[in-house]
Chains A and B, each alone.
Chain A
Amino acid sequence: MRLSAIILLSLFFFSSCMTPSSNTNVLDSDAYYKYLSNSSRPSLEKAQEQLTFWNARINQDSSGVGDLGPTASAYQQIFAQTGDVSLLNNAEKLYKRAIEISAHSKDNYARSLAALYITQHQFKKAESIMNSLEGIPSNKIETDYVMFDILMELGEYEKAGDHLFAQIDKSKFNYLIRRAKWEDYRGNLDQAIQHLELAKDIAESADDKQLKVWTYTNIADFYGHAGRIEESRDHYLKALSLESDNSYSMKGLAWIAYSNDNNPAEANRILDSLLVVHDIPDYYLLKAEIAEAQGKNKEAEKLINTFVQKAESPLYGGMYNTYLIEIYADRDPQKALRIAQREIQNRDTPETRQLLALAQLKNGQLIEAKSTIENYVVDKTFEPTAALRIAEVYQAVGEETLSKKYYASIADARYELGPLTFSKIPTPKG
């Protein structure tokens, strides 16, 4: 903790455009204690009720295509609540069957299946199911939206933009949230937030719980990235007040505790309460980072092992590949390189390319690493992680000036990167 404060101070003198984190504590556990101690799962119960209902109808009349979609959707909701990834395969089967037997809504089910494949990180499959719609009457607007979602994941930003800006009505919720994603990709965080705020107005005027929860949690993330931590906290809490078992918001609060409030114990308390009901690999990874930040390296190692063991389950497919690449970069560089190359086959984005650069670096392929970042990462993304990687690669190849420039560009990204990663940024001299 102290170390990062010192780094912050020195960075402050390094350049006037950097603003150190204020480090004002913003969390008050009274505000969310009731959600922590609450083991009831209303959202899960509701999803299970839906599943029972629609499943019973399928069993009675297996030809009823109308029951397949809601059943699949119920499986997806239960997955979101429990992390039980095998349920996604059930949903996939149902959507496929619906596409097969539906007479006039094939496009609708295809979009749902594509969205499911995105969740599973099977982006190419998502694209091919959408392409298979060619010649079938389809709702153009919704198809454009799904194509945008897929192409953004695949790193085909220009094409994604075509689908987005083809929209005539630019006041729709579905447009605004995607425009926000677009602006974020372009590095316009303020514009992204403003579009999400417009979407929030719609969700609130519709008074639709699901839309509100979705918007609050996502806008909370963005406020966090903009350094507006109090607003971030408030929106996670707003989501929780509507959905007491919203684990995503709890995880967001845990990040605030860890990264802004320098309170790893509290972050762990939140994560441990989540793990009781929602056992997904993500939490182990964050707990590992927190342990390492606390200097508990053995414990961190153990938590990483747990993460790897869970994340490598075949059921997840490649959903956790990006983290696995980073982990193996240290433990088994060649394996990291293999996963990175596979991941680039899956989606060729600045994010996956910077991971390839990391793997190349760890394999001693300095020239390749440099060429990877210069061709595929530099000026192609505004994510602090990418800037960090660029700086590391330049440092490794001895390009001190460039390295310093990129380290300096993330000097105010302490909250986003987290104190541990941030503490590893070399202190600028002079």
Chain B
Amino acid sequence: MNSITITAPKALKTISLVALTFMGSIMITSCGDDDDDGMMTEPTVELTGTYAQEDFMGRPGITTVFGGSATVKNDYNVTAPNPTARATFQPGFQAQLEGYHDVYGDALGVALDYEANILGLDAATFTTVLANFDALQVAPEGQTTYFNPTTGLALSGRALTDDVIDVSLTLMFGGTSGSRFDGNNGTPQLTSDGVGLGDRQFMTTFPYLEDPLN
């Protein structure tokens, strides 16, 4: 009997692209030429070419609230989330933040200014943080939370139960205590949109959300 030439496995079957939507990029340093000189060379990842921005619009909240004009929003969405590139947005964001307070101050008939928030960030620092580091982040190992008041951990992702809008409003209008304008003691309610989770039940396993209503 002649044997079948089975060989050591070498499938390299392509995985379906559905499973591979991950768009990672890496940088490595070139260690040598890729010439046919018979020498083993490290492959060099070629980084030449015309690049196009893929997407930085994962978190539209900040730019919607602080962007002001459509031009600013568009510019912001295609700028890399780092201090150098984003620095130009900070003054506009701060003006916008203070502007909101002026509007409410006028409505209430009093002079009203932003007060350092529950994280202790003054207007300049708060808007610097927002402008520079706003990007969808994921904590692969730590807690995933928009803001955990107990630990102070912030923006490591979003849990399904996180009330993102209320947290944002609290950071903007809550002042140092977090309850500066919470509707009590004759203040207007500015730290919540009044929309809660309702009676939704979240699960810890797939599909995480309850069945849709029929």
Residues of chain A at the chain B interface (Cβ within 8 Å): 46, 49-50, 53, 60, 69, 73, 76, 111-112, 115, 118-119, 142, 145-146, 149, 168-174, 176-181, 184, 190-191, 194-195, 198, 201-202, 205-208, 210-211, 214, 217-218, 221-222, 224-225, 248, 251-252, 255, 259, 285-286, 288-289, 292, 297, 300-301, 304, 323, 326-327, 329-330, 383-385, 388, 415-418, 420-421, 424
Contact = CB atoms under 8 A, between A and B. Distances in A.
Contacts of A195: 43
B3 to A, nearest CB: 5
Given A171-B45, A300-B1, A180 B23 contact: no
Nearest to B27: A171
A384 B7 contact: yes
A179 B4 CA distance: 30
Contacts of A112: 16-18
A180 to B, nearest CB: 7
B10 A225 contact: yes
5 tightest CB-CB pairs across the interface, nearest first? A168-B49, A202-B24, A170-B46, A326-B4, A171-B45
Max chain B C-beta neighbours (<10 A), residue from A142, A146, A171: A171
Given A115-B14, A172-B23, A198-B43, A292 B8 contact: no
Contacts of B13: 118-119
A375 B84 CA distance: 60
B17 A174 contact: yes
A415 B43 CA distance: 26
Given A172-B24, A180-B12, 7 more contacts: A184-B12, A198-B43, A222-B10, A248-B11, A259-B8, A388-B5, A415-B8
Q: Secondary structure at chain A's binding surface: helix, strand, loop or mixed? A: helix
5 contacts: A169-B51, A211-B22, A218-B12, A384-B7, A421-B6
Task: Tell me the interface secondary structure of chain B in the complex.
Answer: loop
Interface of B: 1-20, 22-28, 40, 42-43, 45-47, 49-51, 140, 206-207, 214
Given A69-B18, A174-B20, A259-B8, A330 B27 contact: no
Contact of B25 (A172, A194, A208, A289): A172
Contact of A323 (B4, B47, B206): B4
A309 to B, nearest CB: 15
B16 to A, nearest CB: 5
B33 to A, nearest CB: 13
A206 B8 contact: no
